Structure 1
Amino acid sequence: MMRAIGLMSGTSLDGIDVALIESDGETVRVRRGHNGRIGPLGPTGYRAYSDEDRALLRRALAEAEAIAVRTDRPGCLREAEERVTRLHAEAVENFLTENGLTPADIDLIGFHGQTVIHRPGQGLTVQIGDGARLSRHLGIPVVSDFRQADVAAGGQGAPLVPIFHRALARASGFEGSLAILNIGGVANVTLIAGNGDLLAFDTGPGNALIDDWMSERASRPFDARGSTAAAGRPDEALLAWLLVHPYFTRRPPKSLDRNSFSHRLVGPLSTEDGAATLTAFTVRAVARALDFASEPPRRWIVAGGGARNDEMLRLLRHHLRAEVTPADEIGWSSAFLEAQAFAHLAVRAWNGLPITFPSTTGVSAPMTGGVTARP
């Protein structure tokens, strides 16, 4: 088993998640309490972005539209990349100090970086962050740039977490069909059939549109517990129009860019009705995932920011008509599941194991990925 740290900065631009797990690339080590319940896989940490950091990253997202080849860094992209790398280094250093660890205690770091553009149809995906510089600074090997090899081979480059989802489900003793739904900036699902077969894809917008709406209309970074959405009424005509977008009938594997949809689509609505409409849009797009499931999942486990949104959970239970459980309630981590996944993926990449598959990204054959840097 290797001790690996995973780092994740998602499209919601809230901050950096840090998680330590033990993995051999095939399995993850879980700990159980006296009642058999799974405990934490390992310590976790978080480094919030400042308002200034988020403003820079939002400019980077906008200016990334000018990227033609993945090495381009137009506008503020180079400044943003340097800051992302520095902040991730600080996040790891703080994490090690808080947990009484040293770099010598860590075998490997999985560094996702910050996605600024993801257009696999154009063979283009860019996650800013300098893995080699991070490795030199920390004195720990770093695996980064997880998506590019898959996209270059014709895959979607996303989602990457399904192989970790299956390892965690097996370690947890789950049997039968299962869905693991991550609602970050974009929502993605892993459908695990009873025989272990995987199907994974982005279902549609996650929290990004709601966050953008709340930031613009209410000067708040997100809709806490979904209270604003719960106070509004969704615009059914607008929802019907949004859901005829061809993305929702395209067969998976498939993936989205954070900016594939815009919160401005609900611009004429009140703050509450706009939040309700965007929240319903996320949920109903998730429900469309059932069109592609070989077996209706008996259970949905929800992670990401959406797992802390009571209104979103209520709507998911209504539309999925299945057991819907926040990851924290079964001993998993809603907040740190993706960071844990990138630790696991780093170990797989280090060992030359595949991280993407035809049924998860559409690549023609299972393939490994990532770029390894040593200090």
Structure 2
Amino acid sequence: MANEGSVKRAIGLMSGTSMDGIDLALLDTDGDAVVLRGASSFTPFDPKFRKRLEVGLEAAKAIEERDQRPGDLVAIETELTDLHARAVQAFLTREGLPAGDIDVIGFHGQTVLHRPRQALTVQLGDGAVLAAETGIDVVYDLRARDMELGGQGAPLVPAYHRALAAGLSGDWAGKMPVAFVNIGGISNITYIGADGTLLAFDSGPGNALIDQWVTRHAGIPYDSGGAIASEGRVLSGLANRYLSSPFFTARERISLDRNDFLPPEDHEAGLEDGARTLAFVTAAAIEKAQAHLPEKPKLWILTGGGRHNRMIVEDLTVATRHSGEVIIAEEAGLNGDSMEAEAWAWLAVRSLAGLPITYPGTTGVTEPATGGVLACSKGTQTQAVKPEN
């Protein structure tokens, strides 16, 4: 390893459910309280590859075992891994860093199937190949062990959110309970209580429905800033159809797959009204999450691409006006674009130390659990990361 002692220099790689590209973040961390955030980058997928991923999602529906790759998924996985390797190499060149300065890469890969009730999750991406191509050790497949132990394999970022909450300063220091809300393709919430209580779960649709809607009707990948939604109105009947889903009232919090909520039919709304209604649904779903929390948050910190959609932010601000304050991550000195990539760097270091990455209150796992697979750069041999104790 390049760095001695418990603090390691890590790169985190995240390709989320929005499938727009690769977020990369550099972190110096001990996988616990030490969090020194560094540079970050974003590498967009070109439209052709994004379309291939969308087709791959359909093929992935046939998967029954984690190692199955029906349809074109073998080729997609190869290309995806190569794109991640090139993103790392470009970042290192830009920052003037040799590969030897990086201790480990935390590699998420691309989720193409997530069925927690079947303990089945599939992320495309070959950690051994990535390690060989970059010359850096890689920790990957961080969700599987949690599912083997009865968890839902998601969300995995909450433990990192708790570390960030402990480091909040200024007006935000000690403002508890605090909720981090990541509005990606699917939205998820992390609740951190004043007593250290850690709860997390998916709150409902995030950007995925909006992205699919505007792609289909306007030929663009997303509603930049909520501009399209701002021209529309909320269709109450359509919104209520989404918000009456049993998902929101069920006692058990489940981890969502991209296909659990689908965009409206073409005849149900025009472009602007559809985008506006889906933005409202995203915010309302987040607000509904309060019913599953011990206390209403005093502070909501928004991360992920959805924080840029002003209609989502405005709707959530109105919905929570009697309980807490809504801010975007940057107002708290954080980076809302790279936070999940940072988390994967932090989780990789934590995994190497054999520390828990998931908890009963975050994924439903039976006991705090570590996880991940280590692919060494000096060879193709991989080994499961095991707790030190």
1:254 is displaced (CA, Å) by: 2.2
1:40-63 C-alpha deviation (Å, 9 max, x unpaired): x10001111001110111111111
Amino acid at match of 2:21: G
State yes or no: 1:290 paired with 2:290: yes
1:161-184 C-alpha deviation (Å, 9 max, x unpaired): 000000011122431210000000
State yes or no: 1:58 paired with 2:39: no
Amino acid at match of 2:163: A
In the alignment, which residue of structure 1 is the partner of 2:29? Answer: 23
In the alignment, which residue of structure 1 is the partner of 2:372? Answer: 370
Asked if the contact 1:283–1:312 (Cα under 8 Å) also holds between the matched residues in 2, the reply is yes
In the alignment, which residue of structure 1 is the partner of 2:63? Answer: 67
CA distance, structure 1, for counterparts of residue 265 and residue 192 of structure 2: 33
In the alignment, which residue of structure 1 is the partner of 2:326? Answer: 324
In the alignment, which residue of structure 2 is the partner of 1:152? Answer: 148
Please state whether the residue corresponding to 1:13 is helix, strand or coil: coil
Distance 1:112 1:274, change over 3 A: same
1:100-130 C-alpha deviation (Å, 9 max, x unpaired): 0011100010000000010010111000000
Please state whether the residue corresponding to 1:172 is helix, strand or coil: coil
Distance 1:266 1:363, change over 3 A: farther
Amino acid at match of 1:138: T
CA distance, structure 2, for counterparts of residue 241 and residue 204 of structure 1: 13
Amino acid at match of 1:143: V
Match of 2:102 among 99, 106, 112: 106
In the alignment, which residue of structure 2 is the partner of 1:35? Answer: none
Q: 1:1-375 residue pairs with structure 2 within 5 A? A: 1-30=7-36, 41-173=37-169, 174-175=173-174, 176-265=176-265, 267-321=267-321, 322-375=324-377
Amino acid at match of 2:375: A
1:295 is displaced (CA, Å) by: 1.4
1:245 is displaced (CA, Å) by: 1.0
> TM-score normalized by structure 2?
0.92
Asked if the contact 2:280–2:311 (Cα under 8 Å) also holds between the matched residues in 1, the reply is no
Amino acid at match of 2:182: N
Asked if the contact 2:158–2:200 (Cα under 8 Å) also holds between the matched residues in 1, the reply is yes
CA distance, structure 1, for counterparts of residue 282 and residue 299 of structure 2: 19
Distance 1:266 1:366, change over 3 A: farther
Asked if the contact 2:186–2:256 (Cα under 8 Å) also holds between the matched residues in 1, the reply is yes
1:251 is displaced (CA, Å) by: 2.7
Please state whether the residue corresponding to 1:143 is helix, strand or coil: strand
Amino acid at match of 2:376: R
Distance 1:242 1:253, change over 3 A: closer
1:28 is displaced (CA, Å) by: 3.0
Amino acid at match of 2:26: L
CA distance, structure 2, for counterparts of residue 243 and residue 266 of structure 1: 19
Asked if the contact 1:253–1:360 (Cα under 8 Å) also holds between the matched residues in 2, the reply is no
Asked if the contact 1:243–1:285 (Cα under 8 Å) also holds between the matched residues in 2, the reply is yes
Aligned residues: 365
> TM-score normalized by structure 1?
0.95
Seq. identity, % = 49
Asked if the contact 2:168–2:332 (Cα under 8 Å) also holds between the matched residues in 1, the reply is no
1:29 is displaced (CA, Å) by: 2.9
Asked if the contact 1:185–1:207 (Cα under 8 Å) also holds between the matched residues in 2, the reply is yes
Please state whether the residue corresponding to 1:264 is helix, strand or coil: coil
Amino acid at match of 1:344: W
CA distance, structure 2, for counterparts of residue 233 and residue 208 of structure 1: 19
CA distance, structure 1, for counterparts of residue 15 and residue 135 of structure 2: 21
CA distance, structure 2, for counterparts of residue 193 and residue 27 of structure 1: 17
1:315-368 C-alpha deviation (Å, 9 max, x unpaired): 110112121111012210011000000000001111100101000000110000
Amino acid at match of 1:351: A
Please state whether the residue corresponding to 2:268 is helix, strand or coil: coil
Please state whether the residue corresponding to 1:47 is helix, strand or coil: strand
1:183-241 C-alpha deviation (Å, 9 max, x unpaired): 00000000111111101000001000000001000001000111111111111122222
